[in-house]
Structure 1
Amino acid sequence: MAQFRSKPFGVTKNGEKVNEYIMSNPGGLAVSVLNYGCVIKNIFVPTKHGPVDVVVGHDTFADYENDFNSSSSTCCGAFVGRYANRIENAEFSVGGRKYQLEPNNGKNHLHGTFPRKIYDVKAFGDTLLLETESPAGEDGFPGNLKISVRYILTEDNALRMDYRVSSDADTILNLTNHTYFNLDGGGDVLNQKLRIYASRYLEGNNETCPTGSILPVDNTPMDFRAGKVIGRDIDTGFAQTTMVGGGYDHCFVIDRGRGASQSLCAWASSDKTGISMKVYTTQPGVQLYTANFLQDCPSPGKGGVPMQKYGGFALETQHFPCSPSHPEFPSTVLRAGKVFRANTTLRFFTGKQCGKL
């Protein structure tokens, strides 16, 4: 069974106390979580050479707060919403009414305020439960939300993230976790291997919003089905990668087996540390972001080292970006009185435990 301990981590500019909660299991996996933004601050994976922290982030709360309140926020490790990813033109309609949001990413709306909220925390068994509410009108969205995030640490070195949200009015919702991983424990991720179980991806425009076209990955740099090092095709002149800073910032449509609930969507590994990570989810898509602009982060990374381009990769399991603009996409409407549920599991292996990618 997981063990828990907590310690103070800082105070927000509004005077709210921030705590760090450390979960560890008998297998040697240790996960550090903040009650600010449900941030996953550290994941220490045991290896024969000692534990390796595979999460990109900051050492101090002041650095997180400075980062998350900047125009170039990384959302490092945070639980993201009300709408993860983009809403085109920062507007949507639900129930016959049009809503205007803050255009915080050019003319579009990106991610929202959940990364900057303080959550109530309970620890029991193998579970860390974080809860809060989002009042109607927050970020411009309708509906009073009740939000529950569970981080569950298993004995076989997996971290499961369960989301449960209810609303008292029709609204839209898209949730993800925005952890940047670096399985080497530092440096760039270009030589780390990645496999994505997706035959199709969403074509993006020059604002990283889907055009509506869902294209095959065949014979393009978007093809990760057989696994390859992340840097192999990252900047080859392919229009889709060039226009997002010479890298990936795209949503892949997960190949899902018939009747499957939680599907394997990605598998990453490092030859340097021997660490592998498999990602499973109930969500329909996974956004691969290769930290193309991480160097713009106003706060230093861990150890005071400046953040760097390609310093991590994010695998954001989610519904599709800009879904309100594309009724052919899976719906992100949450009806009044209904409950949204989703989960994602990160399973870690070392050495030969995971097999060969």
Structure 2
Amino acid sequence: MRKAFVTSTALSLACVIPGAALAADASQAPAGTLSNGSPVTAVTLKAANGVSATILSFGATLWKLDVPDRDGKVADVLLGYDDIASYEKRPNYWGATIGRYGNRIANGQFSLDGKTYQLPQNDHGQSLHGGGKGWDVQNWKVEQVKSGPVATAVFTLVSPDGDSGYPGTVKTKVTYSLDEKGNLQIVFEATTDKPTVINMTNHAIFNMAGEGAPRDAIQELLTIPAGHYTPVNDKLIPTGELRDVTGTAFDFRKPRVVAEGIRDGKDEQIVMGRGYDHNFALDKGVTKTPELAARLEDPVSGRVLELLTTEPGVQFYAGNFLDGTFIGKNGHLYRMGDGIALEPQKFPDSPNHANFPSTRVDPGKPYKHVMIYRVSTSSR
């Protein structure tokens, strides 16, 4: 069943039938201005089935994802802010493109070809999501906006050699594509002129009941096809172990309500993460085409999110650090458990673990990661 879905999704996103009527629309509009005077653009992609996605040039950020429930009621399922000023003044990675390196690097250090590189330590002595001045807080260039059987928006950015301590000038591109069925594909591509490390992802935080809904996201059903995860130390850095999920709070191979395990004080990993903030090693590993990495369902509304990726891991974060001080969209106060992030990627701290999938990228060997958000509804 899963293989059949992957094939049909890939075809729907890749094929353009000559003479076919336009089924997905793309448009752009001003979204505000940064403190340095730079204008921010919002690009909206709309599918024939009522699904729409809006992307900001600031951070190449997935700002809104409007999805119908089983009764046709549309809601934005992404946590975030209403205005550009908030994204700039209090960034929290919501929906942003993460780079150069998604997730944590221990002590902000890694070695490559005998040389040690020091990165900003923006997370209790560790480097997180690019070090605090990563690609999530850069205003990307809007290269292309196009309607058609598949609506697309292309964003580009140049990261200079030494940017946040990383070697190599990196030219990167992110392409958002929405087909007529509402499948949202994101393709991350990058080239470098020196050996470097790259690990790109999207950091959308979901509540499939709808952003700001009375039901928090940890009441939703989650499936992750992974027999192992990477346990962490008290700094949330992987120990290097791949631990079997069998019989633990980390076994999501069958659908489970997230809240069932999030307060398991007997599990030291749950205690250290204040809940779930862990990388799962997907059974599928690295794949040429996107395959299933996670499924999130809100049984009440019937909204379903399926995440597919070519990468070998997915970071599951259950909004543990939403502390009631974040005022988000529509004036909603975000608290612990109000959203769930499912970030496909290679493993955290991979440059410091020889047994983890490599994140090294060399000149002439481009980086590419393809992921898909597929939304649908379940029956009652």
TM class, shorter-chain normalised?
A: over 0.9
Question: What displacement does 1:351 show?
Answer: 3.3
Matches within 5 A, 1:242-253: 242-245=271-274, 247-253=275-281
Q: Partner of 1:307: helix, strand, or coil? A: strand
2:65 is aligned, of 40, 43, 52, to 43
1:163 is aligned, of 188, 207, 210, to 188
- Tell me which residue corresponds to 1:305: 332
Question: What displacement does 1:49 show?
Answer: 4.2
2:78 is aligned, of 50, 55, 63, to 55
- Tell me which residue corresponds to 1:97: 115
Q: Percent identity?
A: 35
1:263 is aligned, of 291, 295, 317, to 291
- Tell me which residue corresponds to 1:18: 40
Q: Partner of 1:243: helix, strand, or coil? A: helix
Question: What displacement does 1:56 show?
Answer: 0.6
1:9 aligned to 2:16? no
- Tell me which residue corresponds to 1:71: none
TM-score normalised to the size of structure 1? 0.94
Q: Partner of 2:273: helix, strand, or coil? A: coil
Q: Partner of 1:63: helix, strand, or coil? A: helix
Matches within 5 A, 1:125-274: 125=148, 126-185=151-210, 186-187=213-214, 188-237=216-265, 238-245=267-274, 247-256=275-284, 261-274=289-302
Question: What displacement does 1:314 show?
Answer: 0.3
Question: What displacement does 1:9 show?
Answer: 1.4
1:286 aligned to 2:318? no
- Tell me which residue corresponds to 1:117: 138
User: For 1:187-229, what per-residue CA distance to the aligned partner results, in whole angstroms no more than 9, with x for missing partners?
Assistant: 4112110000100000111111000010000000000001111
Any conservation in 1 of the 2:222–2:255 contact (CA below 8 Å)? yes
> Take 2:94 and 2:58, find their aligned partners in 1: how far apart are those partners?
12
Any conservation in 1 of the 2:45–2:53 contact (CA below 8 Å)? yes
> Take 2:229 and 2:287, find their aligned partners in 1: how far apart are those partners?
21
User: For 1:63-117, what per-residue CA distance to the aligned partner results, in whole angstroms no more than 9, with x for missing partners?
Assistant: 111221xxxxx20000001110011111111122111111111111010210011
User: For 1:220-252, what per-residue CA distance to the aligned partner results, in whole angstroms no more than 9, with x for missing partners?
Assistant: 00000011111011111111011112x100000
User: Which segments of 5 or more consecutive residues in structure 1 lack a partner in the other structure?
Assistant: 69-73
> Take 1:295 and 1:150, find their aligned partners in 2: how far apart are those partners?
33
Q: Give 2:310's aligned amino acid.
A: T
> Take 1:296 and 1:172, find their aligned partners in 2: how far apart are those partners?
35
1:343 aligned to 2:370? yes
> Take 1:209 and 1:220, find their aligned partners in 2: how far apart are those partners?
20
> Take 1:15 and 1:95, find their aligned partners in 2: how far apart are those partners?
40
- Tell me which residue corresponds to 1:323: 350
1:32 aligned to 2:54? yes
Question: What displacement does 1:261 show?
Answer: 3.2
Any conservation in 2 of the 1:169–1:337 contact (CA below 8 Å)? no
Any conservation in 1 of the 2:119–2:166 contact (CA below 8 Å)? yes
Q: Give 1:24's aligned amino acid.
A: K
- Tell me which residue corresponds to 2:11: none
> Take 1:45 and 1:306, find their aligned partners in 2: how far apart are those partners?
21
Q: Give 1:78's aligned amino acid.
A: A
Inter-CA distance 259–311: structure 2 relative to 1 (3 Å threshold): closer
Q: How many residues align?
A: 346
Inter-CA distance 36–260: structure 2 relative to 1 (3 Å threshold): closer
CA RMSD of aligned residues (A): 1.5
> Take 1:351 and 1:29, find their aligned partners in 2: how far apart are those partners?
16
- Tell me which residue corresponds to 2:18: none
Question: What displacement does 1:19 show?
Answer: 1.5
Q: Partner of 1:102: helix, strand, or coil? A: coil
Q: Partner of 1:84: helix, strand, or coil? A: coil
> Take 1:227 and 1:13, find their aligned partners in 2: how far apart are those partners?
45
Q: Partner of 1:226: helix, strand, or coil? A: coil
Q: Partner of 2:219: helix, strand, or coil? A: coil
- Tell me which residue corresponds to 1:85: 103
Q: Give 2:217's aligned amino acid.
A: V
Q: Partner of 1:252: helix, strand, or coil? A: strand
User: For 1:160-193, what per-residue CA distance to the aligned partner results, in whole angstroms no more than 9, with x for missing partners?
Assistant: 0001100000001111100000001124112110
Greater shift after overlay, 115-124 or 211-220?
115-124
User: Which segments of 5 or more consecutive residues in structure 2 lack a partner in the other structure?
Assistant: 1-22
TM-score normalised to the size of structure 2? 0.88
1:65 is aligned, of 85, 88, 97, to 88
Any conservation in 2 of the 1:55–1:180 contact (CA below 8 Å)? yes
Question: What displacement does 1:257 show?
Answer: 7.7
> Take 1:258 and 1:128, find their aligned partners in 2: how far apart are those partners?
26
Any conservation in 2 of the 1:87–1:110 contact (CA below 8 Å)? yes
Q: Give 2:108's aligned amino acid.
A: A
